[in-house]
Structures are given as structure tokens and as C-alpha cells.
Chain A
Amino acid sequence: MGLAELRRDRRAAIAATLAIGIVLAVAPFVIGATAGSTWLRIVDFALLYIMLALGLNIVVGFAGLLDMGYIAFYGVGAYLYALLASPQFGLHWPLWAILPAGAALAGLFGVILGAPTLRLRGDYLAIVTLGFGEIIRIFLNNLNAPVNITNGPQGISGIDPIRIGGVSLAKPIEVLGFTLPSLHAYYYLFLALALAIVFVSIRLENSRIGRAWVAIREDEIAAKACGINTRNVKLLAFAMGATFGGVAGGLFAGFQAFVSPESFSLMESVMVLCMVVLGGMGNIPGVILGGVLLTLLPELFRHGAGPVQQALFGKVVLDPEALRMLLFGLALIAVMLYRPAGLWPSTRRRRELRGNSA
């Protein structure tokens, strides 16, 4: 494959990196100019989902622990930002204090979830994590009485936009006589953090911890026999994954200026899980691909399904939202049946699923 060649040929690798860098740098201007700000907003969301998917990839892809309540950590990060930087409590903390706090709190929740579930595996773990995610959502939904903390189902609005060095990203920014629109600014911020998470993921994958995760995924008993402290290493996977989710959640709250429990439903967890699984569990480029595809395709469909039906039948016959989810479910089944390792699987996974022991 091309990738293997790139790894050998240093000059080609540098050229490819440069090319990708230029594409990523000009992307918001090209998209903003051709497809409009709606799509640029969707691209910003795609970057958030990539962060989420990479976080979940640590838990599911590397360590093989099926977590179906992952969105709860996103919710924890988002609500922490919302509570510390909004009129809700009259607090207006700066970003550099909230994001680490959100990451830490989400990480703590990761450990809280991880600790009692250490003995569980496979589908049992899936159900417990699912239950955990729902518990968090139900609490967010109901903690408005008798003491109003989360403002219940209405959610928290009027959240402070993200400010960097006193410059708010919610308004166009003047830099040297050049105006950077808000969505573009958010794009670069999210891109920078997504790249940081990619970098951390790659370094983790090849580290001692990353290898320990893979060992646990392959055979927990054997891993234990090799001297891996499976308890700590598994807890670390939960905590690391949750931390990424917490960061993404904080960014989401600042970007959206509004959070409500609805954004953290089970369907969202399933969505992120699907990004990881369809893209290629445990393979970082695959997971990124999954994140991009599953954010963009449903949106394409959402914008396309109505008008196409209008043109064909003269009216909207089928609910586009239901149709979108229907196709999504079918795609999930089809990929599992025909490409169980995902669209862009890691070489190790591909070998495993082919059944060779080598």
C-alpha cells in the first residue's frame, strides 16, 4: 500500500505531510466560499467528532473494552464548561482553567465507571456502560429541582464563547488588517486540538502502555501472566479516553453557546462508536476517516433527501430524518457482515479477522 512506501521514503513523507497541511490550512476558506457557512459549521463539528472518536478508540480500539456510554464524558466536559462560564451561576472562568478541569473531571468519571466494571467484558460491559451513560443523562435532565444546577431539560444557554488571550472567537477577528470569521477561527482551534489528540494517540499506540492495551485486548489472562497490571492499565484506558471526551465536550459548549441533555443521548454514543468501528477499530487514520464520513454523509443526506423527494414525487413522502437513520442502521449491518474490520482496518486487525495466527 501507499502508506508503507511513505514510511520508507522520507522525502515523499515530508511532501505528503506538507500537502495535507496546506489542504487543512486552506480548507475553511475553500469550504466557506463554495459550500457556505452551514457546511463550515459541519466541518467544525466533524473535528469535534474526530476528537471524540479518537478518545473512544483508546477504550474500544486499543484496549478492546466496549464502551457504549462514552458520550457521558462529552456531556461532563460540556456541562462543566457551561456551569463555569455562563450566567447560570454567574461564573466566567477562562478557557485555560476550564478545559483542563473538564478533562480532569471527565477522566475521574472514566475511573468511576471503570473501577466497578473491571471484571466485565464484551456485551456485559457494553450494557453497563450504556446504563452509566443513561444515568448521567437522566441526572443532567433532572438536576433542576430542588436545587437548580443543570437547568433540566431546557439546558443552559448564553454560555461564554471561547476566548483566547482576551479575543473572543465568536466574533470576526481582525489580524493585521485581515478578517478571520468566527467559524474559521473555531476551525483552526479545533484542528489544532484534534491534531494534538492524534499526536497523543499515535505516541500512546507505540508506547509501553499502548502495547499493554493491545495485549489486554488480545488475551487478558496472557497479558496478566506477562506482568501487566491489568487493573491499572484498563483504568488508564478509561481515564485517557474520557479525558479526550471531556476536552471535546468543553469545546462543544463554547462553540455552541448552549448545552442540553438531548445532545448526550445514547444515539450519540452509538454514533461515535460507529465512527470507530466502521472506520477501523484501533487504526488511527481509519477512525479519523470514520469520524469524517459519519459526520458529513448524514448531513449530505439531511440536506439532499428532502429536495430529491420533492423533485421525484412532488412532495416529501418519507421523513428524511427517519430515512437517514434507516440507511445508517443498514450501513452498520452491511459493514459488519462484509467488512467486519472496518473500512480502513489496522494491519493487525486484518490479520486477526482473517484467522491467521501470525
Chain B
Amino acid sequence: MAMDTFLQQIINGLVLGSIYALVALGYTMVYGIMGLINFAHGEVVMIGALVALTVINLLAGSGLPGIVIALIGLIAAAPVCMATGFAIERIAYRPLRRAPRLAPLITAIGVSIVLQNLAMLIWGRRYHSFPPILPSTGYEIFGATISGLQIAIVVIAALMMAGLSLLVQRTRLGRAMRATAENPQIAQLMGVDINRIISLTFVIGSALAAVAGLMVSANYSIAHYYMGFILGLKAFTAAVLGGIGNLAGAMLGGILLGLIEALGAGYIGDLTGGFLGSHYQDVFAFFVLILVLVFRPSGLVGEKVAERA
């Protein structure tokens, strides 16, 4: 393939990867603090996307500038997602904190099913399309195109990740979060209200999920009740790839997975002599996941967690 196609796939991969990274942060924060995979996180992204899209569709004819409408959509979606995240933790995880590990995993699957079908009852089975309110001008770079929206996604994702890093590394809340992750009992003895910290972790992760949801639906111009599952799975893969429980790892893993998928889908036809086509795109994430877990379960930058796994 030519150089410009290569560059185009890199750009697509970066955009996709930024979204994965935002969602992966939600998984990794919860895992870091509670050692638990929040299976329902993908559904939170889906709810964010659908709420934002509903509001945006209502306002699409109002004559407001597109960016303002998108912002209002986000402002509507974020509290809904945060409330959902809060409720998930309260209902499905907190009562089971001392239960065998299988129990919270199964309630998480239950929550996931409930959210998905609740969304189906509210929004129906159909695909909801994103109205063309955002400017679609493209910029040429060495023969590849990047749209304003794509630039915005990458920049906003980077800003949010930087903000989260600051929050975790520099604030009192962040220190409490790190302490809880290190050892909840000791953190409690030091006066950290760990229940509050865990709730806040879910809420912050869900806020990021709302942003990611808006980005996905804007990027693909589409949202539906089933979108959360596969997105969640890929974001989880990203988190594992980077090293679960590690914030920088989630970001790195997200970007990397986005690139692997975009390049893989672009080149798999050539590599296998046309035997496998780009519809195998979803397989890459799973292969990456299996390979990482088998050969380097601690991820690229994570600490050793083999015994916890």
C-alpha cells in the first residue's frame, strides 16, 4: 500500500485509540482500586452516547452553532452517566465486596444486560444517527485527510487524560485514591473514607465514559443500544495491554490498540493473500488480548499482578 494510505490508517488508528483510551481509563481506575473488572462500563458509554444524541437531535434544528449543541448534549449526558456509574457500584458491587470473586463478575454481567435492555426499551432497536451539525472540513496532510472532528477527538481526549493524571497525582482526592488502591484497610486507618473514594472513582470513570460516548457517536455518526458491549471489550483489552490498574498504561494501550486495529484491518488482505479481509477487524483485539494475557499478563507498563489474576 502506498504511503498516504498508511498515514491515513495511522490517523484513523489514533482517533480510534483516543476513544479506547478514555474508556480504558474507566476500567483501569476501577481495577486499580478494587481489583475488579467493571463489566458494565461499556454500557455506561452507550448510555452516554444515546442521551447525548437524543439531546443533540432535539436541538439540531434550533439554529445554535454545532459545537454549542454538542456541548449541551455532553452536559446532559455526563450527569446521567455519573448517576449510572454511582448506582452500579452501590447496587452490584458494594454488597459483594467480601464475596468470592465470581459473584461481582456475575452481577456485573447482570447489570450489563439490564442496562442494555433498558436502553432498548427507551431508545428502541433502531440505529440513531448523528445529525450533521459539526463542520466536516478536512485537512490534507501528505495525501491523507484528517477532519476537524478527528482533531478535536484526539485533542480533547489528550486534555482529559492530562486532567485525570493531574487529579490523581497532585490533589488530595488523588492521593486518597492511590492510597485506597495500595491498601484499602490501611487507607481507612489513615482517615480515608474508602466508600466515598470508590464511589467517586466510578463517577469519574463514568464522566469520561460520557465524553467517549459522544465521541464515538460523532465519529461514526451512529449510536444504538448494542454499541457498548464490543467497545467495552476493546477498551478492556486496551487496559490489559497497557497494564491494568495503571493510568498511563491505559492511555498507551488504547492508542496502541487503535493503531493495531486500523493497520491490521488495512493490511490483513495483503498479508494473507486475500484470504482474510477487513471484516476480521474485531478479531485483532481478541488476539491481542489473548497474546498479552498469556505472554505478559502485567501488560506493557504494569506491575506484576499475576497472582491476583
Which residues of A approach B to under 8 Å, CB–CB?
66, 116-117, 119-124, 126-128, 130-132, 134-135, 138-139, 142, 145-146, 266, 270, 273-274, 277, 318-319, 322-323, 325-326, 328-333, 336-337, 340, 352-353
Contacts and interface: CB of A to CB of B under 8 A. Distances in A.
B99 A340 contact: yes
B309 interface: yes
Contacts of A121: 309
Interface of B: 36-37, 91-92, 95-96, 99-107, 109-114, 116-118, 120-121, 124-125, 229, 233, 236-237, 240, 274-277, 279-280, 282-283, 285-287, 289-290, 293-294, 297, 306, 309
Contacts of B117: 322-323, 325-326, 329
A138 B282 contact: yes
Given A270-B109, A322-B121, A340-B103, A333 B91 contact: yes
Contact of A318 (B107, B121, B229, B274): B121
Contacts of B37: 123, 126-127
Contacts of A328: 113
A214 B287 CA distance: 30
B93 to A, nearest CB: 11
| Chain B residues touching A, majority SS | helix
The 5 closest A-B pairs by CB, nearest first: A329-B113, A332-B110, A131-B286, A329-B114, A333-B110
Contacts of B309: 119-124
B95 A130 contact: no
A250 B15 CA distance: 44
A138 B233 CA distance: 15
Contacts of B103: 336, 340
A131 B117 CA distance: 22
Contacts, number: 132
Contacts of B107: 332-333, 336-337
Contact of B96 (A270, A332, A337): A337
A96 B101 CA distance: 42
16 contacts: A117-B294, A119-B306, A122-B102, A122-B105, A124-B297, A127-B37, A127-B293, A131-B233, A142-B276, A142-B279, A270-B109, A319-B124, A326-B121, A332-B109, A336-B104, A337-B95
Contacts of A66: 102, 105
Contact of B106 (A117, A319, A332): A332
Contact of A116 (B102, B118, B236, B294): B294
A340 B289 CA distance: 29
A117 B116 CA distance: 29
Given A120-B309, A333-B107, A138 B280 contact: yes
Contacts of B92: 333
Nearest to A130: B233
Contacts of A135: 283, 286-287
B105 A123 contact: yes
Given A128-B289, A135-B283, A138-B283, A332 B105 contact: no
B101 A123 contact: yes
A117 B291 CA distance: 10
Given A146-B275, A319-B121, A337-B107, A120 B297 contact: yes
Given A135-B286, A135-B287, A325 B113 contact: yes
A219 B125 CA distance: 45
Contacts of B289: 127-128, 131
Given A123-B36, A131-B286, A146-B275, 19 more contacts: A116-B290, A117-B294, A120-B297, A122-B101, A127-B233, A128-B290, A131-B290, A138-B283, A270-B109, A319-B120, A323-B117, A323-B121, A325-B116, A326-B118, A329-B110, A333-B91, A336-B110, A337-B96, A340-B96
A319 B37 CA distance: 30
A274 B110 CA distance: 10
A170 B252 CA distance: 56
Contacts of A331: 110
Contacts of B277: 142, 145
A326 B290 contact: no
Contacts of A319: 120-121, 124-125
A353 B100 CA distance: 8
Which of A130, A274, A329, A331 has the largest count of B CB atoms less than 10 A from its CB?
A329
B114 to A, nearest CB: 4
Nearest to A116: B294
Given A123-B37, A319-B120, A330 B293 contact: no
B293 A120 contact: yes
Contacts of A131: 233, 237, 285-286, 289-290
A130 B282 CA distance: 13
